């Protein structure tokens, strides 16, 4: 009998990579709840060894009680863009409590952006999809005993793969690739998804080493200049970084949403919630965090020596990732919510 891992968010960009690596390890039986086993994201997992899809609503206490029963471990990655900050905090705490009640041995929380503890509350850096997870990992889990149910947090920054989507370059009239970000001289702690999944596997393989651990993972704190130079060094194509106005960038980035950048995050899940932030408000704080994180010395910092010790084979630079992934700079859909530009009430 293989130990069983429940992966909440297993059909999303992050969760699906975790599910695949758990399957490839052949050391775990994996259960993945989904609203529809017929969705394209769910169907993509059906041929994986030791993976079972279960139709369920992870925002239902009854379904959660059923899902966590007879489960050894779990990986939780909720989607704050679908449900909003307040609901993400509530349901993450509820999942933790139900998992403990049901006798789960190891609760691994897939967090996001590891600057919350250092930032505290500051409207300049206010970002709902950071604080929804950050409040759970910094404030709630840190106050919980790591016994008898062990808990660990796997904290990450933006996915390296979004260099083909959210962070993709444009071509100018000369054919040069232009990486345009409202980043100034800051840095983005990008993480390669395959390595993120490898850290998750390490946590399940080494529960005692990560008891009560909040692990911040990243490939590189990359500046705009770092990204452009890496692209040219790998592809041989001319590229440059251009700092752009934040408000204009936000207007352009989210123009396809129902109300553009003024669309509220989580509005379909909680249409009357007055605490919901707009995409403009949310990503204004997000970019301000990156602006204040240059050189791994600002608000968002990580211990790369620790990461090397845990995963010696990890990808260490943007250039290395571009080379290994045959990156071309051409657009590609990565994040589920941005594939069809709809705001969906579904976990990531």
Note whether residue 57 is domain-resident: yes
Tokens of 106: 């190891």
Note whether residue 149 is domain-resident: yes
313: how many CB neighbours lie within 10 A of its CB? Answer: 8
Note whether residue 348 is domain-resident: no
In angstroms, rounded to a whole number, what is the distance separating the alpha carbons of residues 251 and 70? 47
Query: CATH number of the domain that 307 lies in?
Result: 3.40.50.720
Residue range(s) defining the domain that contains residue 154? 4-339
Give the pLDDT of residue 339. Answer: 35
Note whether residue 344 is domain-resident: no
Tokens of 172: 């100018």
Tell me the pTM: 0.93
72: how many CB neighbours lie within 10 A of its CB? Answer: 17
To the nearest 10°, the Cα dihedral for 202, 206, 211, 215?
-20
Residues β-bridged to residue 264: 278
Give the pLDDT of residue 345. Answer: 33
Note whether residue 47 is domain-resident: yes
Give the pLDDT of residue 348. Answer: 39
Pairing between β-strand 177-181 and β-strand 170-171 as defined by DSSP bridges: antiparallel
Place of tokens 């509005």: 267
In angstroms, rounded to a whole number, what is the distance separating the alpha carbons of residues 307 and 219? 9
How many structural domains does the chain have? Answer: 1
Give the pLDDT of residue 335. Answer: 63
Note whether residue 101 is domain-resident: yes
To the nearest 10°, the Cα dihedral for 5, 11, 12, 13?
90
Tens digit of pLDDT per residue, the chain (348 long)? 999 999 999 999 999 999 999 999 999 999 999 999 999 999 999 999 999 999 999 999 999 999 999 999 999 999 999 999 999 999 999 999 999 999 999 999 997 765 445 566 789 999 988 888 877 766 788 899 999 999 999 999 999 999 999 999 999 999 999 999 999 999 999 999 999 999 999 999 999 999 999 999 999 999 999 999 999 999 999 999 999 999 999 999 999 999 999 999 999 999 999 999 999 999 999 999 999 999 998 889 889 999 999 999 999 999 999 999 999 998 887 664 433 333 333 333
Q: Tell me the torsion sign for CA atoms 214, 288, 122, 262.
A: negative
By residue count, the chain amounts to 348
Note whether residue 195 is domain-resident: yes
Tokens of 16: 């699906």
Give the pLDDT of residue 139. Answer: 77
Note whether residue 100 is domain-resident: yes
Query: Residue 331 burial by CB count (10 A; 0-12/13-18/19+): exposed, middle or buried?
Result: exposed
Give the pLDDT of residue 205. Answer: 98
């Amino acid at each position: 009998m293989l130990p069983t891992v429940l992966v909440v968010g297993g059909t999303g960009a992050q969760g699906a990579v975790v599910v695949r690596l758990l399957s490839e390890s052949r050391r775990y039986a994996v259960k993945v709840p989904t609203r529809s086993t017929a969705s394209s994201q769910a169907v993509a997992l059906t041929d994986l060894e030791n993976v079972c899809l279960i139709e369920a609503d992870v925002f239902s206490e009854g379904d959660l009680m059923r899902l966590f029963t007879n489960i050894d471990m779990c990986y939780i990655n909720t989607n704050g863009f679908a449900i909003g900050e307040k609901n993400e905090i509530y349901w993450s705490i509820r999942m933790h409590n139900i998992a403990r009640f049901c006798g789960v041995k190891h609760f691994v929380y897939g967090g996001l952006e590891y600057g919350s503890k250092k930032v505290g509350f500051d409207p300049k850096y206010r970002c709902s999809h950071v604080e929804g997870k950050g409040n759970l990992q910094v404030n709630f889990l840190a106050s919980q005993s790591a016994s008898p149910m062990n808990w660990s947090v796997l904290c990450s920054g933006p996915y390296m793969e979004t260099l083909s989507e959210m962070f993709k370059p444009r071509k100018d009239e000369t054919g040069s690739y232009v990486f345009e970000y409202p980043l100034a001289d800051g840095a983005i702690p990008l993480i390669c998804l395959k390595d993120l999944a490898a850290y998750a596997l390490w946590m399940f393989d080494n529960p005692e080493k990560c008891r009560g651990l909040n692990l911040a993972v990243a490939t590189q704190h990359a500046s705009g200049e770092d990204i452009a130079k890496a692209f040219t060094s790998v592809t041989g194509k001319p590229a440059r970084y251009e700092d752009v106005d934040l408000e204009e960038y936000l207007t352009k980035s989210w123009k396809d949403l129902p109300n553009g950048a003024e669309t509220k995050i989580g509005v379909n899940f909680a249409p009357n919630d007055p605490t919901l932030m707009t995409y403009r408000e949310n990503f204004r704080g997000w970019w301000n965090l990156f602006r204040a994180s240059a050189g791994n010395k600002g608000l968002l910092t990580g211990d790369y020596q620790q990461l090397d010790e845990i995963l010696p084979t990890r990808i260490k630079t943007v250039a290395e990732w571009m080379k290994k992934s045959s990156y071309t700079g051409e657009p590609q859909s990565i994040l589920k919510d941005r594939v069809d530009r709809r705001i969906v009430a579904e976990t990531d």
